[in-house]
């Protein structure tokens, strides 16, 4: 029933024709179109970072002025209520095996749906309206990879004020979508039948996920995107159902995903923090603001970092480090109730440096033994409608393990290495042990939340410090 209902709601054939007609107009009118778009809570980087004044305050004991303002807004529940929209019905999500928004967190763990076998899963793709067709994207193919790049760079996640939009590069997408054991069939697209234009996308990659006591073969879902001209027409539920079907056909029944928006129902709610590396540019583009008693010169001084890493023995990770780094990362992640279980091939895939995509460093002690590792990935955002700057270069904290130095010392070197690599800002979630260094290293809290979700799995709520997972 629910399936038919969703398909019937897709009255989008006419709009499909219009996607192409309006393209030229879009290109001429790009910036004004951006101003009109108002998207729900952004996924990350585009959140407003705290200004220099606040960061200075964060070094002290008291709350900064921005934290105080947030507290007032929260206690008046203006922020909280509108963000959660608890009363809102969820005609799609209410049909899915996820806990409802208002329900209590389960004390025990297990699947929500009855356990099935893959033969019970429908063999045919879900129907799309006549104007559209499914496609499997070949991300190795340059033309197809560029189609995905264009769809995402023009239509993917923006901040609330439409000032920034994620700009995932083609090499990044290939890295993100082709880990060991990936299935091409899980790189799912929707095309306009008439002209084959790519207008929808969603992906899955396989991952072994530990959730409390259970090790579960899961899919990580990412890159859900519908072209701006086809929004609010219930295409997203069809994309989600079709990827679910393809995943279920492979006998995988659970998924993990993150979103800026609140849906039924987060297993964890995390926050983004931002460390200015190029404060002048961040202020010029409106990413952050000059503090009330701050000059630009003082702000630049506040965020200045040394030119070279401070810890002896820091160097770029090499392929020959993969086994040792795998041991370090795997052992460390076991601390966290939610974490991926990586084998050495997966660690090599996810952590070995890739030009312009992932940056990884190790610390080697006097005996040539690797004892610590830090890494970050590059996810720039397009700066929309700014005459001077068009790209915000953001580094995102990834896998970090400190065994011989304080984590904050290791992360200070990560900031230095990110600055050396010309990043404007270093972003980190309050996951794992990150709270231990955020304030000390002058990160400011952002306004971006990141909700973590599990599909078809109930379990107790997970605190951010118990999350050992960063999705790209
Ligand atoms: C996210 C996106 C695909 C949703 O498409 P849409 O046209 O806005 O929404 P549709 O009418 O197709 O579908 C609405 C349903 O999708 C759900 N939905 C919206 N965003 C979602 C998300 N990020 N993840 C899962 N479901 C989502 C809605 O809650 C709603 O279901 P409900 O009625 O049960 O609440 C689209 O807004 C988009 O491409 N946004 C920019 C990129 C983005 O934010 N991607 C998600 C990154 S996590």
Q: Are residues 327 and 365 in the same domain?
A: yes
pLDDT given at position 65: 47
Is there an atom of ligand 1 within 6 Å of 459 CB? no
Confidence of residue 50 (pLDDT cuts 50, 70, 90): very low
Task: Tell me: do 454 and 420 sit in the same domain.
Answer: yes
CA-nearest of 221, 193, 203, 195 to 145 is 203
What is the rounded CA–CA span in Å between residue 450 and residue 430? Answer: 10
Query: Which residue lies with its CA nearest to atom 19 of ligand 1?
Result: 236
In a domain, 368, yes or no: yes
234 alpha carbon – ligand 1 mean position (Å): 8
Distance from the alpha carbon of residue 437 to the mean position of ligand 1, in angstroms = 34
Please give the C-alpha separations between residue 111 and each of 85, 95, 106, 254, 360, in angstroms, as whole numbers.
26, 15, 11, 8, 36
Residue at 1 is within a domain: no
Structure confidence at residue 74 (pLDDT) = 35
CATH number of the domain to which 137 belongs: 3.40.630.30
Is residue 372 one of the residues assigned to a domain? Answer: yes
Q: Cis before residue 265, ω within 30 degrees of 0?
A: yes
Please state, in angstroms and rounded to a whole number, the distance separating the CA atoms of residues 362 and 371.
Answer: 7
Report yes or no on 381 lying in a domain. Answer: yes
> Are 322 and 440 contained in the same domain?
yes
Candidates 233, 33, 203, 223; CA nearest to 132 is 233
Q: What percent of the chain has pLDDT over 70?
A: 82
Same domain, 302 and 186: no
CATH classification of the domain holding 329: 3.40.630.170
Q: Is 260 or 42 the better-scoring residue by pLDDT?
A: 260
Supply the pLDDT for residue 15. 59
Residue 16 pLDDT grade (very low, low, confident, very high; cuts 50, 70, 90): low
Q: Indicate whether 244 and 374 sit together in one domain.
A: no
Residue-wise pLDDT tens digits, 51-74: 333 333 333 333 344 444 443 333
Q: What is the pLDDT of residue 69?
A: 41
Q: What is the model's pLDDT at position 53?
A: 33
Task: Name residues whose C-beta falls within 8 Å of residue 424's C-beta, 6 or more positions apart in sequence.
Answer: 276, 277, 278, 281, 282, 287, 392, 393, 394
How do residues 290-308 score in pLDDT, each as one tens digit?
Answer: 999 999 999 999 999 999 9
Going along 183-213, which residue ranges are E strands? 187-192, 198-211
- What confidence tier does 9 reach under pLDDT thresholds 50, 70, 90? very low
Per-residue pLDDT at 47 exceeds 60: no
**Sign of torsion over alpha carbons 382, 386, 389, 393:** negative
CA of 263 to the centre of ligand 1 (A): 10
| For ligand 1, mutation pick of 224, 242, 472 (most atoms within 8 Å of CB) | 224
Q: Do residues 299 and 343 both lie within one domain?
A: yes
- CA–CA dist 286, 251 (Å, integer): 47
In angstroms, what is the span from residue 231 Cα to ligand 1's centroid?
8
Catalogue the E-assigned strands of 61-193: 132-136, 164-166, 187-192
Q: For residue 130, name the pLDDT band (cuts at 50, 70, 90).
A: confident
User: In which element (H, E) is residue 49 found?
Assistant: none
Task: Give the mean model confidence (pLDDT) for residues 219-237.
Answer: 98
Question: Region 432-453: what's the mean pLDDT?
Answer: 97
239: pLDDT strictly greater than 50: yes
CA 96 to ligand 1: nearest atom: 34
Q: How high does pLDDT run on average in the chain?
A: 87
Contact 463, 428 (CB under 8 A): no
**Residue 329 sits in the same domain as residue 385:** yes
Read off the pLDDT of residues 71-111 as tens digits, 9 standing for 90 and up: 333 333 334 444 455 568 999 999 999 999 999 999 999 99
Spatial separation of the C-alpha atoms in residues 11 and 120, rounded to whole Å = 30
In a shared domain, residues 421 and 274 = yes
Q: Is the CB of 199 under 6 A from ligand 1?
A: no
How far is the first Cα of the chain from the last one, in angstroms, to the nearest whole number?
34
Give dist(CA 86, CA 366) in Å, integer. Answer: 56
Ligand 1 pocket mutation, candidates 83, 199, 236, 381, criterion most atoms within 8 A of CB: 236
Check if 236 has its Cβ closer than 6 Å to any atom of ligand 1: yes
* Domain end point (choices 238, 260, 282): 260
Instruction: Output DSSP code: residue 25.
Output: H
Ligand 1, atom 14, residue with closest C-alpha: 234
Asked whether 277 lines ligand 1 (CB < 6 A), one says: no
Is the CB–ligand 1 distance for residue 225 below 6 Å?
yes
Residue 435 sits in the same domain as residue 383: yes
Say yes or no: CB of residue 156 within 6 Å of ligand 1: yes
Q: What is the pLDDT of residue 18?
A: 63
pLDDT at site 420: 98
Q: How many domains does the chain have?
A: 2
> Which of 228, 260, 292 finishes a domain?
260
**pLDDT, mean of residues 408-436:** 98
Q: How many CB atoms lie within 10 A of CB 397?
A: 26
| End-of-domain residue from the set 243, 260, 277 | 260
Which pLDDT belongs to residue 86?
57
Whether 158 and 275 share a structural domain = no
| Rg of the chain (C-alpha set) | 22
Instruction: Place 20 in a pLDDT band, splitting at 50, 70 and 90.
Output: low
Rounded-to-integer distance, Cα 335 and Cα 212, Å: 10
Q: How far is the CA of 151 from the centre of ligand 1 (A)?
A: 15
In the reported structure, the alpha carbon of residue 225 is separated from the centroid of ligand 1 by a whole-number distance in angstroms of 8
Residue 230 lies in a domain: yes
Examine residue 161 and state whether it is found in any structural domain, yes or no. Answer: yes
Averaged pLDDT for residues 213-225: 99
Q: Does one domain contain both 228 and 142? A: yes
Peptide bond before residue 310 is cis, with ω within 30 degrees of 0: no
pLDDT in tens, 148-191: 999 999 999 999 999 999 999 999 999 999 999 999 999 999 99
Is the distance from the beta carbon of residue 263 to the nearest atom of ligand 1 less than 6 Å?
Answer: yes
Question: Cβ(308)–Cβ(417) under 8 Å?
Answer: no
Is 445:50 a contact under the CB 8 Å cutoff? yes
Q: Are 114 and 201 members of one domain? A: yes
Would 37 be classed as within a structural domain? no
- Which pLDDT belongs to residue 386? 97
Rounded CA separation 302/298 (Å)? 6
Question: What pLDDT shows up at residue 17?
Answer: 60
Residue 35 lies in a domain: no
- Give me 63's structure tokens: 């709350």
Query: What is the domain extent for residue 136?
Result: 96-260
């Amino acid at each position: 029933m629910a399936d038919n209902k969703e398909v019937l709601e897709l009255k989008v054939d006419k709009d499909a024709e219009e996607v192409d007609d309006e393209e030229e107009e879009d290109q001429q009118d790009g910036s004004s179109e951006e101003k009109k778009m108002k998207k729900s809570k952004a996924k990350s980087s585009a959140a407003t970072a705290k200004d220099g004044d606040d960061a200075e305050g964060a070094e002290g004991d008291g709350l900064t002025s921005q934290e105080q303002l947030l507290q007032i807004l929260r206690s008046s529940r203006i922020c909280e209520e509108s963000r959660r929209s608890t009363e809102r019905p969820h005609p799609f999500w209410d049909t899915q095996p996820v806990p409802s928004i208002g329900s209590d967190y389960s004390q025990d763990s297990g699947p929500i749906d009855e356990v099935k076998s893959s033969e019970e899963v429908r063999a045919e793709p879900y129907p799309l309206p006549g104007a559209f067709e499914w496609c499997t994207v070949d991300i190795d193919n340059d033309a197809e990879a560029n189609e995905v790049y264009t769809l995402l760079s023009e239509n993917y996640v923006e901040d609330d004020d439409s000032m920034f939009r994620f700009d995932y590069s083609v090499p990044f997408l290939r890295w993100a979508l082709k880990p060991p054991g990936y299935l091409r069939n899980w790189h799912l697209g929707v095309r306009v039948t008439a002209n084959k234009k790519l207008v929808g996308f969603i992906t899955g990659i396989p991952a072994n996920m530990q959730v409390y006591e259970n090790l579960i073969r899961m899919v990580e879902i990412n890159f859900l995107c519908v072209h701006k001209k086809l929004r609010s027409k219930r295409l997203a539920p069809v994309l989600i159902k079709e990827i679910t079907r393809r995943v279920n056909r492979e006998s995988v029944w659970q998924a993990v995903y993150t979103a800026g928006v609140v849906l039924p129902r987060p297993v964890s709610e995390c926050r983004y923090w931002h460390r200015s590396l190029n404060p002048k540019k961040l202020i010029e583009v409106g990413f952050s603001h000059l503090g009330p008693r701050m000059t630009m010169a003082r702000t630049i001084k506040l965020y200045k970092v040394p030119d070279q890493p401070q810890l002896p023995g820091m160097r770029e990770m090499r392929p020959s480090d993969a086994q040792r780094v795998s041991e370090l990362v795997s052992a460390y992640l076991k601390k966290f109730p939610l974490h991926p279980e990586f084998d050495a091939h997966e660690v090599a895939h996810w952590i070995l440096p890739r030009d312009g995509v992932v940056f990884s460093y190790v610390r080697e002690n006097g005996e040539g033994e690797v004892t610590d590792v830090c890494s970050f990935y590059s996810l720039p955002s397009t700066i929309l409608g700014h005459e001077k700057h068009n790209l915000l270069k953001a580094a995102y904290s990834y896998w970090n393990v400190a065994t011989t130095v304080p984590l904050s010392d290791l992360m200070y070197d990560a900031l230095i290495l990110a600055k050396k690599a010309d990043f404007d800002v270093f972003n980190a979630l309050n996951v794992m042990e990150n709270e231990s260094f955020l304030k000390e290293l002058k990160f400011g809290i952002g306004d971006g939340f990141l909700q973590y979700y599990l599909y078809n799995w109930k379990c107790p709520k997970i605190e951010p410090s118990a999350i050992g997972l960063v999705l790209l």
